[in-house]
A and B are shown apart, each in its own frame.
Chain A
Amino acid sequence: MRYFISLSLTLAILWLGLSGVYKPLLFILGGLSIALVVWLTERMEVLGAEHDPGLWSWRLPVYWAWLLWQVVLANLMVARAVLSRKPVTPSLFRVPARQHTLVGRVTYGNSITLTPGTVTTCLRNGDDEIEVHALLPEAADDLHSGAMARKVDWLEGRQR
């Protein structure tokens, strides 16, 4: 029941934010579409703990801010590599991923990919490692230092 409420609320905010025209007809249409989507997710049985849009904690914005900063730093690094004349030295390696939840691991993998200079090439269920392709040795060192993994652990913290 909690899922239904949180999903409906999220969808309602999305609708109101995107529409901008507040007339009765549009409210009715919006309500109908939300009901349809909620009904569909119920039928598809995708609404569970992993897909709960109400699973937001205060840690998420903090993590996003940190990640955005990392992304900016990594961008500058890669941009410098693009513009310098030295050939790049890419590498393929594995880093441990010991987050308890699947969502935590996927978050870690996606964060690695989002940061330029590193791409997750393989993340398997039941594997405690992520396979990563890195463009620069510096980017690889950053990952080996485990700063991002610790940050994801922290993000996971309260969500059990």
Chain B
Amino acid sequence: MAESLVDIISMLLLLGGGLFAVIGGIGLLRFPDVYTRLHAGSITDTLAPLLIVSGLVLQSGFSLLTFKLLLILLFLLFTTPTASHATARAAMIAGIKPVGGEKTGDKGASSSNT
């Protein structure tokens, strides 16, 4: 009974992770420019692996595999912000203007730092 309960929970987590990955993909197609798409991509980068790895940890039980899975998650969570930031920064330097209004209106300051 307990076994199948763990199985059900991990199944739900895996399905949830897959669902969020798809939502991230939809956002990637729907949003208007590089910067907003980056936000959609970060769903696939953060919550989806979080749920999927949790589901897999439940499947693997408590073993060395758990440690490895958590390491994967840790490295993923450390490296994806770096990649997102690099993309956003590169887009800024390439001179792509974000759509939508500026809140503080200091566009001059922000576009001159290339």
Question: Which residues on A are within 8 Å of B, measured CB to CB?
Answer: 14, 17-18, 20, 68, 71-72, 75, 78-79, 81-83, 87-94, 109-111, 113-122, 124, 131, 133, 135, 140
Contacts and interface: CB of A to CB of B under 8 A. Distances in A.
A159 B20 CA distance: 36
Given A75-B46, A82-B27, A90-B98, A117 B81 contact: no
Interface of B: 20, 23-24, 26-27, 30-32, 35-36, 38-40, 42-43, 45-47, 50, 64, 67-68, 71, 77-78, 80-82, 84-85, 88-89, 92, 98-104, 106-107, 110, 113
Q: Output the residue of B45, B71, B88 with the most chain A CB within 10 A.
A: B88
Nearest to B37: A135
Contacts of A119: 35, 38-39, 42, 84-85, 88
B68 A78 contact: no
A94 B47 contact: no
